[in-house]
Amino acid sequence: MSDYDRNVGVRWGASVGRAGATEIDQGLRSYMLGVYNYMTLGLGVTGLVAYGAKMLTIAHSSADTVAMYGRIPLNSLGVALYASPLRWLVILAPLAFVLFFSYSINRMSAAAARNVFIAFAAAMGLSLSTLLLVFTGESVARAFFITAASFGALSLYGYTTRRDLSAFGSFLIMGLVGLIIAGLVNLFVQSSAMQFGLSILSVLIFAGLTAWDTQAIREMYFATDGYEVAAKKSINGALMLYLDFINIFQSVLYLTGSRND
């Protein structure tokens, strides 16, 4: 479950500072590049942790097999992470990081904010590692490339469009709140039909949020920001787009993926 309140980050500013068009264009490009670089770093950490967790929890011999996860043999570490009460800590840890980041970013240094973001990405990787057990590697790769292509197009639209997307924001947030509540309910109901419907809604909602967030992140930029403020804005923006990407990826995987069992 990662349909977290990805809008918890502070909305820093709403307009671009005026210091001459050339300076603004160069500064804005550098700022947005920082956002995408941090986001890419977060996705890389998530992928490495997820893959590492999979390799550490799979039993590589019959002697090490403690239980089965579908057709995947698990060792004792795998059982502890995925089939014991500890799994709730694994599932909910990313949410705790997001809430902590939301309430603490204004008091953090840029370096501390970066470290919390990386720790969050690692926790998310551990939480998402179950997807590598449930779905085939080919399915995961296909979903990733579909998500990357879609995300790139949507974010580019949000960055370049002259249309004000803020009017859609309240509707998207309302949809997100409903999605989160329904997702929490389905953790206990475990309805495949409900999961299918939520995945479709999730793709649509987070597609809209990707464009909206990109425009909002662009408008956070001020040419007069100092290094610390600009860096924290970049990390905050990276978190917003990271969560959009992860939620689209999960939903595409649920809709198109082939399972190992």
Length of the chain: 261
DSSP H/E element including 206: helix 192-219
pLDDT of residue 261: 67
Please, how many CA atoms are within 13 Å of residue 110, restricted to the half-sphere of its CB? 13
188 pLDDT band, cuts 50/70/90, is confident
Q: How far is residue 230's CA from residue 28's CA, in Å, rounded to a whole number?
A: 10
Q: Where does residue 134 rank: exposed (0-12), middle (13-18), buried (19+ CB within 10 A)?
A: middle
* Strand residue runs (E) in 33-84: 67-69, 72-74
Express the helix, strand and coil content of the chain in percent, nearest 5 each: 75, 5, 20
Mean pLDDT of the chain: 85
> Are the beta carbons of 183 and 198 closer than 8 angstroms?
yes
Q: What is the pLDDT of residues 212-249, one digit of tens each?
A: 999 999 998 887 778 888 899 999 999 999 999 999 99
User: In the beta sheet, which residues pair with residue 74?
Assistant: 58, 67
Higher pLDDT among residues 151 and 257, named by residue: 151
Highest mean pLDDT among 2-11, 137-146, 170-179: 137-146
Residue 135 phi/psi, 5-degree rounding, is: -110, 155
Q: What is the pLDDT of residues 54-87, one digit of tens each?
A: 999 888 877 778 878 777 888 888 888 888 888 8
Which residue's structure tokens are 């019959």? 62
**Position 1 pLDDT exceeds 70:** no
16 pLDDT band, cuts 50/70/90, is very low
pLDDT of residue 105: 85
Higher pLDDT among residues 16 and 52, named by residue: 52
> Are the beta carbons of 131 and 253 closer than 8 angstroms?
yes
Q: What is the pLDDT of residues 83-141, one digit of tens each?
A: 888 888 888 889 888 888 888 888 899 999 999 999 999 999 999 999 998 899 999 99
Q: How far is residue 129's CA from residue 48's CA, in Å, rounded to a whole number?
A: 10
> Are the beta carbons of 16 and 217 closer than 8 angstroms?
no
Tell me the three state secondary structure of residue 98: helix
**Position 34 pLDDT exceeds 80:** yes
